[in-house]
Structures are given as structure tokens and as C-alpha cells.
Amino acid sequence: MVDRPAGSNKPHLELHVPEPKFRPGDQADFSHIDIGEAGAQPRPDEACDAKETLPLCYDLIRVLGEDNKAHGAWDPKLDPETLRQMLQHFATVRAFDERMFRGQRQGKTSFYMKCTGEEATSVSAAMALASDDMVFPSYRQQGVLIARGYPMIEMINQIYSNKADKLKGRQLPIMYSSREHSFFSISGNLATQTPQAVGWAMASAIKNDSRIAATWVGEGSTAEGDFHSACTFATVYNAPVIINVINNQWAISSFSGFAGAERTTFAARALGYGLAGLRVDGNDPLAVYAAERWAANRARANQGPTLIEFFTYRAEGHSTSDDPSGYRSAQEREEWPLGDPINRLKNHLIELGEWDEDRQAAMDKEAAEKVKATTKEAEKNGILGHGLHHPFRTMFQDVYEELPWHLEEQAAQAKREREIKWPGEEPWS
């Protein structure tokens, strides 16, 4: 500690370093979280002034109550068939995650990221958008592709970086891209998708198109400058865009307090920019759907952008490279007060008399078998390190219409080195 100057009575300054409430070995207790009562939150008109959403930036929009019934003005009143379709997507995403996680552990791919506990923030949100609305995802939105009918085998080919990978092995596993499904390329650089989404939405408005944009970003990534630039441009130009902040409590091993969660909610960041803001129970599939549809209708009516905080929990590690037992309590997952989105939707359908445990078990089994069969089909195209990949020459293709001189030199050098290393073989294979 620095000594005070003689005669000084000024107090010493102290630096605050955020610290999570539970560490490994601690008993998890989430009683400090006020989840409110399902159905108690008002639903303002979609064309309201952004200032009217101020209370909803601090409250928590919930539809499904402890009685498994839908409550309040935010109930989207979805028919049972739509709810079953949503549940099917959930089951498929979770089965897909389990199979790909095991594949990584078996050395079939280098990397994978599960979205266990967060399925509603992608599947339910995607179902609330138009199928051709442009989405700018982060790296835990595989549910968007599943909900939009993207071929699962293409996802697995990309994860394995095999000879059928449409991205030709140029992207880290799980960083998908599909123009046909209005799914923008995932980037490993944090928050870059947020200004891209806003820019795309501005372009859509300039062209008098009818398509809006939606982007997803983790709560930790809201500390990036790109996020704040996106918010500024979105509100200044009234861009038809939805900025979804997935607050799953952890950015790898850094808890949400390091991104500002100790001081206020992430939804409250909307207020300083003049954005409409909503804070939503991210484990409530009906609330997620309702909030995303509200924001989509608002954007489509030229009433402005919306920032939505989906308050959820990352039930497992950040990725296959992460061990969460090293930085958080092992009991957190079980103690999380908002439960599991799949169980909540299942129990709601059972309460409606539209579902039962036997049908759920059959659905889960069918999803697992479908994923298993598709995985085996994709493995015929190759897995990591087994030689079934795109030809080496593709490294120098698809970027320039005419290859620049320096890349021509690199290509020629690479070809010579391969001829020396593997004489008698096709150097560009």
C-alpha cells in the first residue's frame, strides 16, 4: 500500500475485481436471482417508444409457470403441432451435440461446442423469424440451422473438414455458413457479427426489401467495441435488426460480472443507445419465441431495432477444450432456478394433454438414431487426419478471380515441396 503524503486525509482508492458467488467445492445458491412471476410482465405495443420498454430491461419476461401452464400477455398461443415441432428440434439439437461431442473425444474432429441448456435461444428464436430473415450467429446457434432444415450431413461434413465439406476445410469446426438458409458465416472473432448484422439490415432498408436481420452474441462479447458500434449504428439509422445477447452466465471461465452483470442487466444497455430492450427467461421456449416475434414485428414495421437479453445458463463446458470444474461449482447446473428448456416445453405439452413421457422417449430415441445414421454417412467422406479431404490446390482458390503473383509463387513452391516429399504422387492431391 502506498503511504499517504504527510498531512493528507484523502482516503485510499480501492479497485473492485468481480468475483463469482460460487467456486469449485462451494454449495451453489441462486436465491439472489429474482425470476419474478410468470405472466406478470406487461407486453407493450410493438410500435411503442423505446423508453416504454425500460421496466422490461430489469424484469424477466416469463410465460411458463411452475404449474407448466402458459400465463400472461406474452403467451404466443402456439398450437400443439408447432410446440411439438419445436420440441423435435430441441431433441435433434441435443442428440446432435452428444454425438459430435463423442466424435471429438474419439479424435474424429478437433473441436466442438455444445449448446446444452441454451437450445431455446436458437430454436425458438429462429421459429419466430421468417425463414429468409438473415441471421448472424455466434458459435452456439446450431439450433437455427436445425430449425431451418439445413441438411445435418452438411453440418457434420463441415465439423470433420472432410472431402464433402462445402467450406473446403477453411473454417474451424462448427463455424457453418449457408447462403441458401440465410445463415451468415460464423466467425471466431468475437462480436464481429453484430456490426455486420446492423450493416446488412441497413442495406435491406436502403433497398426497400422486407427482410430483417438478427444476430446472436454472448454476454462476455458485449464488452467488445464492435458490439457498441453496432448498437450506435442500429439506433441512429433505425436499422431493422434484433440483437440477441445470450447471457449464459459464463464467458469461458470468466463469469458475467466481468462484462458488467454486477452493475445492471445486459438488456439495460439498450437504454443508453435509445434501443428497445427486453430481458427474457432464456430457458422458457414460449417467452423466447414471443420476445423474438415482438422484436421482429417491430423491425418489420420500421419501428426500430431491439436488444434482447436471454437470461440462461451454459450447462456444460464452453467447448471441448474447456473443463468447467476448474472454475465453477459442480452443483450449479442442478441448482439453476430456470430449469431445462426441453423439460419445460415437454411438461407444458403434457399439461395440455398433447404429449406424454412415452412419446418423449420415442422422440429422443428417433433423434439419436437419425443423428447416428447421418454421422456414419458423413464419415464415409472422411474424418480428421484420415486423408479424405479437399485437394491441396484448393488452398489457393476461390479468393481472387486472378491469382496474384505472390500467391502464384507460393503455389509453385508448395507444389515443388510436395513433389520432393511425396515423389511419384499427384502433387496437387
Q: Compute how many other C-beta atoms are within 10 angstroms of the C-beta atom of residue 350.
A: 15
Query: Which cell is 262 given?
Result: 454486477
pLDDT string in tens for the chain (429-residue length): 556 666 678 899 999 999 999 999 999 999 999 999 999 999 999 999 999 999 999 999 999 999 999 999 999 999 999 999 999 999 999 999 999 999 999 999 999 999 999 999 999 999 999 999 999 999 999 999 999 999 999 999 999 999 999 999 999 999 999 999 999 999 999 999 999 999 999 999 999 999 999 999 999 999 999 999 999 999 999 999 999 999 999 999 999 999 999 999 999 999 999 999 999 999 999 999 999 999 999 999 999 999 999 999 999 999 999 999 999 999 999 999 999 999 999 999 999 999 999 999 999 999 999 999 999 999 999 999 887 888 888 888 888 999 999 999 999 998 899 889 888 777 666
Query: Which cell is 312 given?
Result: 440462461
Return all residues near 23 (Cβ < 8 A) that are at least 6 apart. 327, 328, 329
Alpha-carbon gap, residue 275 to 254, rounded angstroms = 27
Domain ranges of the chain: 50-319+328-379, 392-421
Global pTM value: 0.95
In the numeric block, the cell 430449425 is attached to: 147
> Which contacts qualify for 357-361: CB closer than 8 Å, 24 or more apart?
360/87
CATH architecture of the domain formed by 50-319+328-379 = 3-Layer(aba) Sandwich (3.40)
Alpha-carbon gap, residue 183 to 76, rounded angstroms = 25
Q: Shortest CA distance to 286 belongs to which of 364, 233, 351?
A: 351
Using left for φ > 0, alpha for ψ between -120 and 50, and beta otherwise, residue 48 falls in beta
Count Cβ atoms within 10 A of the Cβ of residue 329 and give its class: 0-12 exposed, 13-18 middle, 19 or more buried: buried
